[in-house]
Amino acid sequence: MAASGRFFDEMNSAEGVLRTHYQAYVEWFDGISSDRMARKRQEAGTLFHRSGITFAVYGDEAGAERLIPFDVIPRVIPAREWDTLAAGLRQRVKALNAFIHDIYHGQEILRAGHIPADQVLRNAQYRPEMQGVDVPRDIYAAIAGVDLVRAGAGEFYVLEDNLRVPSGVSYMIENRKMMMRLFPELFARHRVAPVEHYPDLLLDTLRAVAPKSVPDPTVVVLTPGSFNSAYFEHAFLAQQMGVELVEGKDLFVRDEQVFMRTTQGPQRVDVIYRRIDDDFLDPLAFRPDSMLGVPGLLSAYRAGNVALSNAIGTGVADDKSIYPYVGDMVRFYLGEEPLLNNVPTYMLRKPDDLAYVLAHLPELVVKEVHGAGGYGMLVGPASTRAQIEEFRARILAAPEKYIAQPTLALSTCPTFVESGIAPRHIDLRPFVLSGNEVRFVPGGLTRVALKEGSLVVNSSQGGGTKDTWVLED
Amino acid sequence: MLSRTADHLYWMARYIERAENLARMLDVNNRMLLLPQSEHEITRLWRETLDSIGLLETYTATHADISPSSVVHFMALDRTNPGSIYSCLRAARENAHAVRGTLTAELWETINATWLDLRGYDIKKMGADELDGFFEWVKLRSHQSRGVTFATMTRDESNSFLRLGTFIERADNTARILDVKYNFISEAPRREASGEYYQWSALLHSVSAFETYRRTYRDQITPARVAELLILRMDMPRSLAYCTSEMERFLSQVCNSRSAETQRRAGELASSLRYGRLEDILDTCVHAYLTRFIIRVNDIGNRLAADFMLPATV
């Protein structure tokens, strides 16, 4: 399982020496026949298919469901490394929550001049409806999915803070269950930190952000429905927490209170873990054509009679145009130096940055400020001249819609591919829960770009996943 | 429980039961075809079968004539026919998918696996000798779904709505199977008594009642006893009496402030079977009796939906 050398490899050092935290795994692996491994990999596919752990792909034939490719070689993180990351994540999410609270209240950070007010207040994700609205415990992003990548020398960077409806946590848990089923002996040889209790922590978190007056809050998960790409996850989390999985049509609002329609009549709902974007939550307040939402939900929410997780209006804080300021938020709200690095970012609304970026497009990654899911981006080194020129025209038409970053040499991890085992680029999405305190399960979801040389790990773009081990020494 | 969840559970169970009964119906017809009879008789049998499940019009709209192989394909695996076994199992799976979090993992996987396997069948390439195996498979998967439900589902509302779906559908289907066969056999040209024996025994086999009949009556097969067994016998798990009594029982477990009238009607229907007399049924004519029965069962199904599954907002 050799590394390519140009990138930081999780398993092997540049000199080709096996890293200590992979030693026991590789010893075990070398003792497994390739036949058995092939059988196990096939078994994983069959089991995922049978249990319907699939995702729907937009644009495919109606109702088509695909498996997210699962790679059986785990991504291993030594516990000491994880502890450093965990401290950084805790700090970052605290600062982000403080920022969201601030911009909907006193706007201190804008008045202190750390972030141009226009960048925030004119952002499409800024929700004026939230001004002056108090949310329980001042927590807006109770569930955050922070995307981390590792670059050339092994240092971690935050690529993106997902504060709206981050997904993928169910795959983190199912991947672990699959590994334990396929290779139980591996877990006897390693001290792998468990992750399956995530739904317990999530339920605890959701109950902690319930309206204060409710002693025993009723929690529900709100899904767009069974044709949504992440429906499996919605059903999974509701089931694991033992709460109802509702669609918009199951809820209604009366006297600024939210109820669900049950066989025994209306039942009050206190906390909604919503997996629907802001725009679709309430046709009376946002998009009037939304069939997914609940008419009147915003009024109940503003009255403090129901909690939404995440809160409305968190999108402004994970917007790519705000991302460059997260370090400033940490300093401003917590008085600390940021523990996690941001990727250096050029903001193309600034003339100097724009000029630099236009002169260096083949080396850079350019992203739409409001894009997500790996759509609407240019990876310079992997693009043809024609693609670069096409993107140049788009940038020139509206430079303020773009940011650019150096192309990071994302770390690699050995992965099964058609030709055998080869290094493929990976990222890591830990899920950070903020309730009474900030908590998480060790690790997160490792996504892997299965195409050779590809840096795009999104499942919608042909990415796969791996089990992620935080390994005690 | 969410009203929508109750709705999905109820229909999931109904569609599984319907798929099973379609397989039973096709199976009994195939068996009857093995008996010597005229072309005309065969056509009549299939026409009446299609008519009994309300699919005659859909069929004749797309097919020029009634031939056994095209009707079997239409009823078993035709994806454009919403009443085919294929469509029923797809609908069962879609309903299960919508409430997969309410089902135990075992039950969800059973239904999902049934669907995945079904897509592997190609009935056009199936010989007559393999059809039997396909119908057996449909019945087996239905038995399996019920068994997994019985063994793993909590005995709460979700179980009650599943069982209600099963017994409402079964009551309806048994009545239809009996109706069409009873009519067909009694109107058939006079033939040897032994010919009739095979017709009745095929019907009994199709509802898994042949052995029960033998054990219960220890005598030759007569139309009146077949009617009694399938309508009035409480110990026969596919009889109308048994199905309606289970409907009444599970309905009482989910009752709410709106459901009193539905419960009353279910109780009335169950009692009429529990205390019913065969002579009265035979006097009024079996066909008329079964027609009225099907209407009453469907009335209860509609009321159930109104009481529990589409409740008013206030």
- What are B169-195's pLDDT values in tens digits? 999 999 999 998 888 887 777 666 666
Instruction: Give A112 or A454, the one with higher predicted confidence.
Output: A112
The C-alpha of B100 sits at a distance from chain A's nearest C-alpha, in angstroms, of 7
Does A399 score more than 70 pLDDT? yes
Q: Rounded to whole angstroms, what are the CA distances from B211 to A9, A39, A130, B185? A: 69, 45, 71, 21
- Please give the Cα distance from B150 to B147 (Å, whole number): 5
Predicted confidence band of residue A372 (pLDDT cuts 50, 70, 90) = low
- Mean of all residue pLDDT scores within chain B: 91
* B252 and chain A in contact, CB less than 8 A: no
Contact B97 A252 (CB under 8 A): no
SS3 A323: helix
Q: What is chain A's mean pLDDT, rounded?
A: 92
d(CA B308, CA B70): 40
B102 at the A interface (CB within 8 A)?
A: yes
pLDDT tens digit string along B35-75?
777 888 889 889 988 988 889 999 999 999 998 889 999 99
List % helix, strand, coil for chain A (3-state, nearest 5): 35, 25, 40
pLDDT digits (tens, 9 = 90+) for A290-317: 889 999 999 999 999 999 999 999 999 9
Q: How confident is the model at residue A140 (pLDDT cuts 50, 70, 90)?
A: very high
pLDDT for residue B12: 97
Predicted confidence band at A61 (pLDDT cuts at 50, 70, 90)? very low
C-alpha distances in angstroms, B23 versus A40, B141, B231, B265?
36, 11, 21, 30
What backbone torsions phi and psi does residue A246 show, to the nearest 5 degrees? -115, 155
Largest CA distance in chain A: 68
- Is pLDDT larger for residue A374 or for residue B111? B111
The verdict on B145 touching A (C-beta cutoff 8 Å) is no
SS3 A182: helix
B111: closest CA of chain A, how far (Å): 9
**What pLDDT shows up at residue A208?**
96
**How many distinct helices (H) and strands (E) make up chain B?**
15, 0
Interval B241-297: pLDDT, tens: 999 999 999 999 999 999 999 999 999 999 999 999 999 999 988 999 999 999 999
Where do the structural domains in chain B lie, given as residue ranges?
3-308
Neighbours of A214 (CB within 10 A): 16
Cβ distance B4 to A239 less than 8 Å, yes or no, reads no
> Quick one: pLDDT band at residue B311, thresholds 50, 70, 90?
low
Dihedral of alpha carbons B250, B254, B257, B258, sign: negative
Q: What is the pLDDT of residue A291?
A: 87
Q: How far apart are the first and last CA of chain A?
A: 22
How much is the average pLDDT of B205-212? Answer: 89
Amino acid present at A204: D
Read off the tokens for A457: 């790990």
Under the banding of pLDDT at 50, 70 and 90, the label for residue A374 is low
Q: What is the pLDDT of residue A219?
A: 98
Q: How confident is the model at residue A60 (pLDDT cuts 50, 70, 90)?
A: very low
Distance CA B74, CA A118 (A): 64
Contact state of B313 with A266 under an 8 Å Cβ cutoff: yes
- Which residues of chain B make contact with A238, given a CB cutoff of 8 A? 101
pLDDT of amino acid A1: 61
Residue A264 to residue B157: CA distance in whole angstroms: 10
Cβ within 8 Å of residue B102, ≥6 positions away = A239, B1, B5, B9, B158
| One-letter identity of residue A34 | S
Please tell me which residue of chain B has the smallest CA distance to A254: B314
Cβ of residue B108 closer than 8 Å to a chain A Cβ: yes
pLDDT of residue A64: 58
- Tracing tokens 């140009």 back to the chain, one arrives at A6
A263 with B157: Cβ contact below 8 A: yes
10 Å CB burial of residue A27 (0-12, 13-18, 19+) is exposed
Task: Express as a percent the part of chain A with pLDDT over 70.
Answer: 96
What are the chain B neighbours of A265 within 8 Å (beta carbons)? 256-257, 311
pLDDT in the model for residue B249: 97
Contacting residues of B for A53, CB less than 8 Å apart: none
Average pLDDT, stretch A339-365? 94
Residues B174 and B20 sit within 8 Å (Cβ to Cβ): no
Give the model confidence (pLDDT) of A176-205 as tens digits: 999 999 999 999 989 999 999 999 999 999
* Cβ–Cβ below 8 Å for B100 and A239: yes
Which pLDDT does position B314 carry in this prediction? 42
Q: Do B3 and A246 touch (CB under 8 A)?
A: no
Chain A residues bordering chain B (beta-carbon distance below 8 Å): 49-52, 225-226, 235-236, 238-239, 244-247, 249-250, 252, 254, 260-266
Q: What is the dihedral of CA A26, A30, A34, A39, to 10 degrees?
A: -60
Nearest CA-CA partner of A162 in A319, A325, A321 = A319
Is residue B90's pLDDT more than 80? yes
DSSP A344-368: P-EETTSHHHHHHHHHTGGGEEEEE
The pLDDT value recorded for residue A113 is 96
Q: Which of A444, A396, A431, A462 is nearest to A162 (CA)?
A: A431
% pLDDT > 90, chain B: 68
Residues of A in contact with B152 (CB under 8 A): none
For residue B291, how far is the Cα from the chain centroid? 15
pLDDT level of residue A284 (50, 70, 90 thresholds): very high
Are the beta carbons of B4 and A264 separated by less than 8 Å? no
Residue A91 DSSP SS3:
helix
Nearest-CB residue to A50 (from B109, B161, B309): B109
Question: What's the gap in Å between the CA of A243 and the closest CA on chain B?
Answer: 9
**Chain B residues inside the 8 Å CB shell of A254:** 313-314
Task: Look up the pTM and report it.
Answer: 0.91
Identity of the residue numbered A302: R
For residue A244, the distance in angstroms to the closest alpha carbon of chain B comes to 8
Could you give the angle at the alpha carbon of A226 between the alpha carbons of B169 and A244, nearest 5°? Answer: 80
Q: Taking CB atoms and an 8 Å cut-off, how many pairs form between chains A and B?
A: 66
Lowest model confidence (mean pLDDT) among A18-22, B121-125, B172-176:
B121-125
